[in-house]
Structure 1
């Protein structure tokens, strides 16, 4: 079980999708409480009762939006696919349930005022809400993990690639006479190398790491990783201007451009596809929004 909780799990970093998710959860909680009125709410006599109960859904929405969006902005290094696991997803969602229970309890106290009693202790309400959400949350995350793992593992095995990643395929693609020049934002710093030797480009903040093959003193091709101050979109535009027919360098992630001619193997896990380059030395993630484009490009090779 410990090993299962440490398995990689996809994280949604799109604010709009997170807001929609928070809205759905808030709407569900609001409708559930209006329909069933647990925790003694059915005995509560007050004007505009339905609207007041629906307010629990609004509290739920704001707490969930905060947990799913703000925490990622405050601790971006922790909320990355490199660190995100099944266990962390379960902790995030169950922690959200706990905070919802506490927030809604405060809201209930505010509604009732000092002169009224809800009939349910703080600890009982929070504990019941937490336990009600814990088991279905854990089950939902585990089922989602299994479904995603099967889907991407099966589909990755069907994708065409250039070879296996058991040995580095440095000589798998003949050296090309076509040179690629990438220019930094200052219009002074640049890199020039054969197009066929480019492996991938990774962006981080205002810089890009350009990973390509370069001969060392003995003439052996080795990967090098110089930095250029530039956005990934800017370098992508320069690369595409260098091609007239086929463009083997494609965006597979918001932070990665990869040379599909250098992909030796494709694997899948619950987070999606992983592209293996240079004997497995480099594993490039594929974001879900680029799945269809990448699969089409690989099949056209």
Structure 2
């Protein structure tokens, strides 16, 4: 069953492309279009027509323009702040930050809608607490619905294009607690004295080095590498029964449960892990298989 746990809320992901300066105008245009046509076609919150000072088309435009300007100004300021703070600019994003910023924006939109009432509607109670609450409530109801729809649409289309940005949620670490994941794996080599073993959860990735394989392991937050006398193909064949290991590249094999970040596009991904600056490539030929296994393990 798929769910978002506390760890997923605070797990770092790539800063969303839609909020970056180069895409902010485009995102604002999309937001305005959706808000405008949603209000125009569905009239979700009916208003007594004689109270309206303008044609309903103009009112839809004003109500769509308000959240668009707030969205653009808010994220422009956020991007400026991240740029000035080098550490913040290079740091990743979390789903908790995403939801918190959206909640603040919806609150600001609700307040702006309330302040516009006296300009749009001829009603002696425009400044009442009742209308203030209604504007805030309506913005959260519609805003959350639109955000959920856009999130799923974004995920679907980016998945179809093999974009790493679609992988918003990391694999749950609960999977590491299974008996399968904590098993000590024994590897046989051509020379018995070179046989070795390792703990499944400690392996981050393996790299081919000719007739050898270099294992990168993490134990107690300490990352080490070990060179073993075995080819990557032979190593892969002996761990094939363990679902977390995946041959993502002709020279690399990774532990899917240890991936911290996925970046890249349809030309290939780069995988990051905690404790090491090394990145592991996912070849273009393996993108579909990687995406399928990643999602399968994430919802397991």
The alignment's TM-score, normalised by the length of structure 1, stands at 0.49
Q: Which has the higher helix share?
A: 2
The alignment's TM-score, normalised by the length of structure 2, stands at 0.49
